[in-house]
């Protein structure tokens, strides 16, 4: 899952400013039958889900338009609209829904959820106001989210249609995903977080990391934003199911705690007067998460014991997110370098600084 780190000093300030206006209750946090969970808190929030659904549908329409315009020019695969996304709506509801998607096409569909500041702030604010049934404060002043432009009114207009048509099924999928991920988090969360923090020469956040569980996230199926550190994950993406859910959660969370790795890589490259290898730190995070999880899956076959444990181990040594983009980004070489120079550090045979130095020297 590709992540761009945000360093603008305005972001933490704006995040803190917006957070002060948000209602303090968190009634939408998904309860677990397994009791309080460590490390993460899962939310299936109405507004965040509606936002991502509209974003997905807008991108699907935009991709379909581009495909029509480039017919015969071998366009890439286009996003598919959600099943039944338009059929059966009344004429009035259809106009309202189309207006919402048109707004997203015009304002958001061509922007990246990970790096666009407006989208990051919007997503966080919608999460903070998940307990409100409105966003503009017309009925409840405490539910005025202070959203910019027309987006508050757009979301409110689309809300009844989404609630009646899709929300129940999507919320059910979100909660089902949490129910399946919860025992893995409860049993392994503390140990994995401590191990990863130790590897990255840092500390895991004291507060639980908020995870927005949505039917749709981004093209990668999950993404992370910083200041505050929050993870958004798709409950319906096939890449996020079963034991892979644990890999995705800790891989995404690692983006917020692995800053010492990026700093060390940058420092070592500067000392050697070398350009920073593009995405090396990201490949390292994915590789590390897979290696840390390897003993977890060695203990037995998750999900009832019916699968091929060796195949599961293989998929976690080179997790799917890395495997899918090896040929596109030249990460085959990164994987080899990580095995040769980072793995000894994970095995306790060399120290952090030497591992980074050897890695950069060979990169």
- Does residue 24 sit in the same domain as residue 168? yes
If asked whether residues 173 and 42 sit together in one domain, one would say yes
Distances 261 to 56, 72, 182, 354 between C-alpha atoms, Å: 33, 45, 29, 12
Rounded CA Rg of the chain? 21
Please tell me whether residues 198 and 54 are part of one structural domain. yes
Residue 251 lies in a domain: no
263 and 125 belong to one structural domain: no
* Number of independent structural domains in the chain: 2
Confidence (pLDDT) at 356: 97
Q: Is residue 92 part of a domain?
A: yes
Q: How far apart are CA 193 and CA 187, in angstroms?
A: 12
pTM for this structure? Answer: 0.81
Q: 157 with 298, same domain?
A: no
* Domain-located, residue 248: no
pLDDT given at position 64: 87
Domain ranges, residue 311: 258-362
- Is 250 within a domain? no
> What pLDDT does 244 receive?
86
Q: How far apart are CA 217 and CA 123, in angstroms?
A: 11
Q: Is residue 270 one of the residues assigned to a domain?
A: yes
Within-domain flag for 93: yes
User: Looking at 153, 181, 214, which one is the last position of a domain?
Assistant: 214
In this structure, the answer to whether residues 16 and 97 fall within a common structural domain is yes
The verdict on 202 and 340 lying in the same domain is no
Of the candidates 185, 214, 243, which is a domain's last residue?
Answer: 214
Residues 36-88 pLDDT 10s: 688 999 999 999 999 999 999 999 998 888 888 777 555 555 556 565 555 67
> Are both 280 and 196 inside the same structural domain?
no
Dist. CA 300–CA 235, nearest whole Å: 24
Residues 158-204 pLDDT 10s: 999 999 999 999 999 999 999 999 998 999 999 999 999 999 999 99
How big is the CA angle at 37 (ends 32 and 39), to the nearest 5 degrees? Answer: 140
Tell me, yes or no, whether 175 and 280 share the same domain. no
Rounded-to-integer distance, Cα 288 and Cα 352, Å: 13
Nearest CA among 32, 84, 25 for reference residue 53: 84
The structure tokens listed for 115 are 């790096």
Q: Are 278 and 350 in the same domain?
A: yes
Contact 112, 2 (CB under 8 A): no
* 231 within domain boundaries: no
Last residue of a domain, one of 214, 244, 269: 214
pLDDT at 86: 58
191 and 265 both lie in a single domain: no
In a domain, residue 163? The reply is yes
Output phi, psi for 324, to 5 deg: -70, -25
Question: Using an 8 Å Cβ cutoff, are 318 and 335 in contact?
Answer: yes
Query: Where do we find the tokens 């940058």?
Result: 266
**For residue 213, what are the contacts with CB-CB under 8 A and spacing of at least 6?**
30, 42, 43, 44, 174, 175, 177, 178, 233, 235
Instruction: For residues 211 and 234, give the distance between their C-alpha atoms in angstroms, rounded to a whole number.
Output: 10
Angle between helices 117-128 and 46-69 (to 10 degrees): 150
| Contact predicate 13/100, CB 8 Å | no
Clarify whether residues 38 and 185 are in a common domain.
Answer: yes
Residue ranges of the chain whose pLDDT lies below 50: 1-20, 24-27, 300-322, 325-326
């Amino acid at each position: 899952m590709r992540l761009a780190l945000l360093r603008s000093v305005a972001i933490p300030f704006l995040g803190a400013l917006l957070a002060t206006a948000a209602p303090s209750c968190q009634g939408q946090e998904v309860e677990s039958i397994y009791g309080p969970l460590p490390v993460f808190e899962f939310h299936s929030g109405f507004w965040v889900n509606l936002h991502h659904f509209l974003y997905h549908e807008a991108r699907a329409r935009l991709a379909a338009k581009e495909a029509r315009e480039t017919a015969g020019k071998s366009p890439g695969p286009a996003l598919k609209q959600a099943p039944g996304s338009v059929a059966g709506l009344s004429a009035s509801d259809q106009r309202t829904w189309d207006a919402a998607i048109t707004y997203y096409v015009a304002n958001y569909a061509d922007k990246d959820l990970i790096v666009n500041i407006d989208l990051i702030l919007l997503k966080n604010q919608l999460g903070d106001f998940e307990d409100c049934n409105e966003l503009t404060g017309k009925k409840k002043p405490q539910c005025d989210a202070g959203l910019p432009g027309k987006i508050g009114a757009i979301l409110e207009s689309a809300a009844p249609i989404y609630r009646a048509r899709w929300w129940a099924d999507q919320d059910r999928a979100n909660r089902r995903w949490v129910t399946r991920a919860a025992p893995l988090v409860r049993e392994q969360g503390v140990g994995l977080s401590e191990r990863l923090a130790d590897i990255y020469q840092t500390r895991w956040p004291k507060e639980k990391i908020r995870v927005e569980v949505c039917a749709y996230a981004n093209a990668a199926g999950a993404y992370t934003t910083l200041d505050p550190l929050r993870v958004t994950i798709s409950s319906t993406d096939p890449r996020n199911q079963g034991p892979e859910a644990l890999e995705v959660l800790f891989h995404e969370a690692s983006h917020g705690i692995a800053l010492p790795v990026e700093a060390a890589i940058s420092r070592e490259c500067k000392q050697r007067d070398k350009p920073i290898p593009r995405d090396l730190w990201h490949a390292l995070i994915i590789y590390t998460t897979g290696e840390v999880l390897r003993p977890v899956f060695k203990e037995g076959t998750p999900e009832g014991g019916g699968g091929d444990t060796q195949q599961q181990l293989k998929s976690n040594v080179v997790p799917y997110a890395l495997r899918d983009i090896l040929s596109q980004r030249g990460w085959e070489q990164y994987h080899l370098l990580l095995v040769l120079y980072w793995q000894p550090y994970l095995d306790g045979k060399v120290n952090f600084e030497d591992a980074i130095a050897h890695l950069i020297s060979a990169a």
